[in-house]
Chain A
Amino acid sequence: MSSRPISMSELGAGEQATVLSFGGARAVNNRLASLGFTPGVGIDMTQNFGFGPLIVTVRGTRVALGRGEAAQILVQRQAG
């Protein structure tokens, strides 16, 4: 359970993680928060091909994120 923090873009499809913190600009963070990304929330990586944008499911909503945006969100991988 206590694996090291990684950036969200490193999660593979089907993996689950907990959001730790945000490193982007204020306006971006505010928009992420309004879509459900807050510290401690569980996320599902729905699609990630290792390049281009990715799809994350947070609080029942599927959100498309640019790779750059996802790279600035720090998460902790959940086992299983």
Chain B
Amino acid sequence: MSALPETAVPLIALAGQPNMGKSTVFNYLTGLNQHVGNWPGKTVERREGLFLLDGHECRLVDLPGTYSLTANSPEEVIAREYILRENPAVVVAVVSAANLERSLYLVAELLALSAPLVVALNMMDVAGQEGLLVDPAVLAAALGVPVVPMTASKAQGIDELLRVIQSVVRGELQPAPQKPAIRADHREILEKIQDLIAGQVPAPYPPAWVALKLLEGDAEITQLMSVELAAGRWVEVQEVLRAHDDAFLAVASGRYEWIGRMVRAAVTRPRLGQIGLTERLDRWAAHPFWGLLILAGILGLVFWVTFALATPVQDFLDARLLQPLAGLAGASLAGAPFWLRGMLVDGVIGGVGSVLTFLPVLAIFFAAFALLEDIGYMARAAYVMDNLMHLMGLHGKSFLPLFLGFGCNVPAVMGTRVIDSWPARLLTILIAPFVPCTARMVVVAFIAPAFFGSNALWVSWGLVILSLLALVFSGVLLNQLIFRGQRSAFIMEMPLYHLPNARTIGLLVWQRSMSFVRKAGTAILGMSLAIWVLSYLPNGDLNTSFLASFGKLLAPLGRLMGFDWRLTVALLASFPAKENAIATLGVLLGNSSQVGLAQALAANFSSASALSFLVVVMLFIPCAATVAVTRQETNSWRWTFLSIFLFLGLSLAAGSATYQLATVFGF
């Protein structure tokens, strides 16, 4: 009965270090036929897709990109546990021909897991540009596993990769790998550990691999064996380990000796001293002064392009889609009860509309970010920002999610996953919502000109700077109070610059936008319905509605900041989605046309109240979607509430101070 292996869908796993083009290979094989989620119980992205292998469907799982398989982070544990427990038919290891020495390190670790390996030798084009010559056939012979030369960004080698995977799945091609060994001077110690743990290692872990991980000081495996071994035996193991606490270097050196043999066989090196494109660009992009200037310029350009391109699209969507739709719904529901018409037109279409008109801004911002990421610039941005991030006890990598926050805080909080240490990641999650997102800038861009005319631009800049100052202030404070100034290590690869790949960028924009629509979309729609219901009940009149009563209840607090109940309600309405503040003011002032609302605002409120309102909107509790992902990523209500109270307290304090000061100066 060999029917089972034929009907079961073969499982292929994709492994590789960061910056090796693993995602490009994954995207080429699966296209849009992929699903993005989380690894069970972890906040690590899990991508899985289907692809056709000679007419048969295969599952492809993208393992997290890691440099090694030692438990330094959840990613490494996920990758190795998956291979050990799920037994994929083939593990495809993506390595870079332009960076063979380092990228074979993961291959050395994968071979120790005894998975059927196929090496995808990617970036053959980059290697060529660098003057490197790699012979795939020689490398395959030296490794004892199939090697497929590829340039995934140009779709070269994909067919050959599929053919080789199929041969391995069918058993026609059986890899016979040359495995690396520990450095000679530690061979006896490794054998000693192997003898001590023999027969005591639980499935599915290979005993030889466990011995190696114990010598490497792997936290998870050490913990596992301390439980599995009898107490006396464990003490013996510990003694050996303690006497050889530098054994991890012997393990790593052994792998690099093995790599050295592979590389010497397969690579013809270029002449030394050649200055590549990356080095020339980095003289500017990674310079402590010019690098910051370039970063500031790029940031400015990204915002300018985002708003210049998105505004016409937004206007188009509003004029050609939402308004006709609202008109149509209003007309066709003319006979329906008033509450049903109101709920559909103002609640549903209004809510969907604010998500939809927001999408172009985000998509364009995400595209710019993905482009900078794909060409390799983002590592430089993190590098030049490292000094400033030190102020908050963070390092350069935390800058990347914060940058993303200028588009939307939701992906920013999720983007903190790039940070390796948990305290640094938590701190970044807590301060990320201070970054003024596009939604808040929309509110500023509408209200500031209504009150400050030609000075509106300065007011807007001032508000952005205020937000960033609040970010630094809170970061320094939280770091001292909660994290007691501890700092994580800054170790980051600076990838080679390379040409962007449209497919990679397109998919990244698509996934980030869809994740916004799913997360923010449902929250915004639900909340705008709720706000509408509260503004309608109990009498169908806004001025006597529950919402108004609630606003009036909070009036004493609002007065500190120069708010009347309407501004208080507008502020509360900004919780589901920041840009709701304007729509709510439109409803409350009974004026929904843009020009009319601007005039009505100026007639109803003083400049001091407006300024204080803007300050509070900038610093208020993060939007519902951001709070939701904060809860999801921290997996803790305690930190989520700390974040809510931090923003609430700071925004109310700053708003009151602004109002009092502005009144003194006679606004």
0/1 interface trace, chain A 18-41, chain B, CB 8 Å (1 if under): 000010111111111111101111
Name the A residues within 8 Å of B252 (CB-CB).
33-34, 38
Looking at the assembled complex, report how far the CB atom of B133 sits from the nearest CB atom of chain A, in whole angstroms. Answer: 14
In terms of DSSP, what is the predominant structure of the interface of chain B?
helix
Q: How far is the CA of A1 from the CA of B219 in the complex (A)?
A: 39
Name the B residues within 8 Å of A63 (CB-CB).
491-494
Check if B663 is an interface residue, CB within 8 A of chain A.
no
B383 touches A30 (CB 8 A): no
Name the B residues within 8 Å of A36 (CB-CB).
101-102, 105, 256
Name the B residues within 8 Å of A38 (CB-CB).
249, 252-253, 256
Q: How far is the CA of A23 from the CA of B509 in the complex (A)?
A: 42
A-B interface contact total, Cβ < 8 Å: 113
In chain A, what residue has the closest Cβ to B256? A38
Q: Given A31-B72, A66-B489, A61 and B99 touching (CB < 8 A)? A: yes
Looking at the assembled complex, report how far the CB atom of A56 sits from the nearest CB atom of chain B, in whole angstroms. Answer: 10
A24 touches B248 (CB 8 A): no
0/1 interface trace, chain B 38-62, chain A, CB 8 Å (1 if under): 0000000000000000000000000
Check if B288 is an interface residue, CB within 8 A of chain A.
yes
Q: Given A27-B72, A39-B249, A61 and B102 touching (CB < 8 A)? A: yes
B491 touches A35 (CB 8 A): yes
Our pick among A32, A46, A51, A62 for the contact of B491 (Cβ within 8 Å) is A32
A66 touches B279 (CB 8 A): no
Our pick among B248, B396, B493 for the contact of A33 (Cβ within 8 Å) is B248
Name the B residues within 8 Å of A53 (CB-CB).
383, 386-387, 395-396, 490
In chain A, what residue has the closest Cβ to B278? A62
B379 touches A64 (CB 8 A): yes
B70 touches A34 (CB 8 A): yes
A56-80, CB < 8 A from B: 59-66, 68-69
0/1 interface trace, chain B 264-296, chain A, CB 8 Å (1 if under): 000000000000001100100010100000000
Name the B residues within 8 Å of A32 (CB-CB).
491
Check if B186 is an interface residue, CB within 8 A of chain A.
no
User: Interface centre among A51, A55, A64, by most B CB within 10 Å?
Assistant: A64
B384-435, CB < 8 A from A: 386-387, 395-396, 420
The interface on chain B, measured as residues whose beta carbon lies within 8 A of the other chain's beta carbons, has a size of: 38
Q: Given A41-B256, A64-B379, A66-B491, A31 and B67 touching (CB < 8 A)? A: yes
Q: How far is the CA of A62 from the CA of B285 in the complex (A)?
A: 14
Q: How far is the CA of A27 from the CA of B386 in the complex (A)?
A: 21
A51 touches B288 (CB 8 A): yes
Name the A residues within 8 Å of B288 (CB-CB).
49, 51-52
Q: Given A36-B256, A38-B249, A65 and B490 touching (CB < 8 A)? A: yes
0/1 interface trace, chain B 245-259, chain A, CB 8 Å (1 if under): 000110011001000
Q: How far is the CA of A62 from the CA of B281 in the complex (A)?
A: 13
A34 touches B253 (CB 8 A): no
In chain A, what residue has the closest Cβ to B487? A68
Q: How far is the CA of A53 from the CA of B491 in the complex (A)?
A: 10
In chain A, what residue has the closest Cβ to B257? A38
Check if B374 is an interface residue, CB within 8 A of chain A.
no
B70 touches A30 (CB 8 A): yes
Q: How far is the CA of A65 from the CA of B490 in the complex (A)?
A: 6
Name the B residues within 8 Å of A47 (CB-CB).
282, 286
Q: How far is the CA of A47 from the CA of B491 in the complex (A)?
A: 15
Q: Given A26-B217, A47-B282, A60-B102, A65 and B256 touching (CB < 8 A)? A: no
Name the A residues within 8 Å of B105 (CB-CB).
34, 36
Q: Given A49-B288, A63-B494, A30 and B489 touching (CB < 8 A)? A: no
In chain B, what residue has the closest Cβ to A19? B249
B489 touches A24 (CB 8 A): yes
A66 touches B217 (CB 8 A): no
Check if B564 is an interface residue, CB within 8 A of chain A.
no
Looking at the assembled complex, report how far the CB atom of A35 sits from the nearest CB atom of chain B, in whole angstroms. Answer: 6
Q: How far is the CA of A60 from the CA of B219 in the complex (A)?
A: 29
Q: Can you show 21 pairs from A to B with CB atoms below 8 A apart?
A: A22-B249, A24-B489, A30-B70, A30-B248, A31-B68, A33-B249, A35-B102, A36-B256, A38-B256, A41-B256, A47-B282, A53-B386, A53-B396, A53-B490, A55-B494, A61-B101, A63-B494, A64-B382, A65-B491, A66-B386, A66-B491
For the complex of A and B, list the 7 residue pairs with the smallest distance between their C-beta atoms, beginning with the closest: A66-B490, A34-B68, A33-B252, A62-B494, A34-B67, A59-B101, A53-B386
